[in-house]
Structure 1
């Protein structure tokens, strides 16, 4: 998910806790913990500062997003609460654990995927059923906030807990529909990937057979729209590309499958899941 959504998750966690018996210092600590832990897995972006071998694609959403690292992040925020805010008790550990778990797990549902099981598996888990920027989630949080103003007698934490229930139902409904479409197209293609549209309940199906890749927009409530058939130059030797542009080798390993491009000007590969208006924003090339 994007940074705004992860921040909203942190605010949503903070607002879902009953703070009636909390001191001002405890509330500050809770706010720091819920928002900080909701963002901490994305600390991997700093790896760009020293990446000289083109490995950023693997480092981003890699080990820092592992479900097995979540307790370590939670322990960090427990230590901050215990020794900086001087707050006793273990609640901060579980709040941080929940925040990190939501961050890592929500990222699995969009097309980018995560190293959810690292270091025990290098597989990038991705369902592709939720867009990276999900406006429905934003809208639900907005509704929860507005509800606190319209119904001031209803406790804030109860309204935000209802919001969380709606978010879970939204993700479940999206994922069920995506799963049905995936299974429908699975028999037609050797390789298949799913990418959720910004429009709820709509998906892009990316299917590959041999050297052809089909892009299809579809939903359970409308007819399929065939967007484009792309030809991949699979017979091209990519060794020079990988040697001159190590990020290309990383992308080749990271993506479920790629389209190979060769023309008079360049050779390269791109991830067709992010194909829009004739090109993909996720590609690596070598000029001839």
Structure 2
């Protein structure tokens, strides 16, 4: 998910666990823990500063997003709250752990995927059933904040109901997405799914040999093939990987790619992000510059 969504998750966890009977110091530590732990896996973004080998895509959503690292992140915030707020409460450990788990697990559901099982597997696990920016989640959280301003309603209960609503949204959207996936799984050798911003609207990307189809499918309209692409599978990519190591990273990271080998370019791109004739994940070299 995007940074704003992760921040909203942290604030929603704070609302679900904040207790007016606790000290201000504890509630401040709780706020910092929920927001910080909801963001901490994305600390890998700093790797782009020293990345000279084009490995950033593999580092991002890699080991820092591993489910096996979540208790370490939780202990980090438990320790920091002890140091800075003088609050030593095991509840902060468990709530921080929950926040990190929500971050890592929610990232599984969008097209980028995540290295959930690193270091034992560097496969990017991706379901593609929830968009990276999900406005339905934003609306649910915003509604919870507005309703919680009414002094007669218990804040904890409101935000816990909001979490229930968000969970139901993810489940329903994902079940429908897997249904769509199953409809095309037998038609192609490889299939990937990418959720649109509108609920129950998906892009299906299917690849068989050199052909890649990008299909728009929605609950309210008939499926439509948006693009019919050809991948030059016989192209020699050694020079591309040598000159543009980012291309090798993308080749390893994406479920599958479209290879371009024409008079102008040698490159490859991720068709899940193909819009209006191009993908923003396109790594290439110009043949005229070799």
TM-score by length of 2: 0.97
**Structure 2 gap segments, 5+ residues each:** none
Distance 2:24 2:146 in 1: 24
CA contact (8 A) 2:40 2:73 kept: yes
* 1:24 aligned partner: 24
How far apart are residue 220 of structure 1 and its match? 3.6
1:43 maps to 43
Q: What aligned pairs does 1:131-170 form with structure 2 within 5 A after superposition? A: 131-149=131-149, 151-170=150-169
How many pairs are equivalent? 287
SS in 2 for 1:285: strand
**Cα separation, 1, equivalents of 2:167 and 2:118:** 25
1:141 aligns to what SS in structure 2?
Answer: helix
- Per-residue deviation, 1:60: 0.2
State the match for 2:286 in structure 1: 287
CA distance in 2, matches of 1:233, 1:255: 17
Per the alignment, residue 229 of structure 1 pairs with 228
How far off its partner does 1:27 sit?
1.3
RMSD: 0.9
Tell whether 2:69 aligns with 1:69. yes
- Equivalent-residue separation in structure 2 for 1:125 and 1:219 (angstroms): 24
1:256 is aligned to 255
8 Å contact kept, 1:181–1:219: no
Stretches of 4+ aligned residues off by more than 4 angstroms? none
Shift of 1:219: 2.6
Shift of 1:273: 0.4
Q: What's the counterpart of residue 129 of structure 1? A: 129
1:120 equivalenced with 2:120 (yes/no)? yes
Q: Any idea what SS the aligned residue of 1:208 has?
A: strand
Q: Is the 8 A contact 2:205 2:271 kept in 1?
A: yes
1:126 counterpart SS class:
coil
Deviation for aligned residue 1:160: 0.8
Which residue number in structure 1 is paired with residue 266 of structure 2? 267
Post-superposition offset of 1:86:
1.0
Distance in 2 between residues matched to 1:247 and 1:226, nearest whole Å: 29
Q: Is the 8 A contact 1:108 1:114 kept in 2?
A: yes
Deviates more, 1:48-57 or 1:258-267: 258-267
Alpha-carbon displacement from aligned partner over 1:155-214 (angstroms, at most 9, x marks no partner): 111111111000000000010000001011000000100000001011000000110100
Verify the 8 A CA contact 1:130 1:196 in the aligned structure 2: yes
- What is the TM-score when the length of structure 1 is the normalising length? 0.98
Is the 8 Å Cα contact of residues 109 and 129 (structure 1) preserved in structure 2? yes
Counterpart of 1:55 in structure 2 is 55
Counterpart position of 2:110: 110
Partner residue in 2 for 1:83: 83
Task: Give the Cα separation in 1 of the matches to 2:127 and 2:92.
Answer: 30
Q: Which residue of 2 aligns with 1:216?
A: 215
* Residue 84 (structure 1) shift: 2.1
Q: Is the 8 A contact 1:129 1:196 kept in 2?
A: yes
* Secondary structure of 2:37 counterpart: helix
CA distance in 2, matches of 1:152, 1:223: 47
Q: State the secondary structure of the residue aligned to 1:125.
A: coil
Corresponding residue SS for 2:67 = coil
Determine the C-alpha separation between the residues in 1 that align with 2:262 and 2:147. Answer: 56
Aligned to 1:246: 245
How many angstroms apart in 2 are the aligned matches of 1:283 and 1:112?
Answer: 15
Per the alignment, residue 8 of structure 1 pairs with: 8
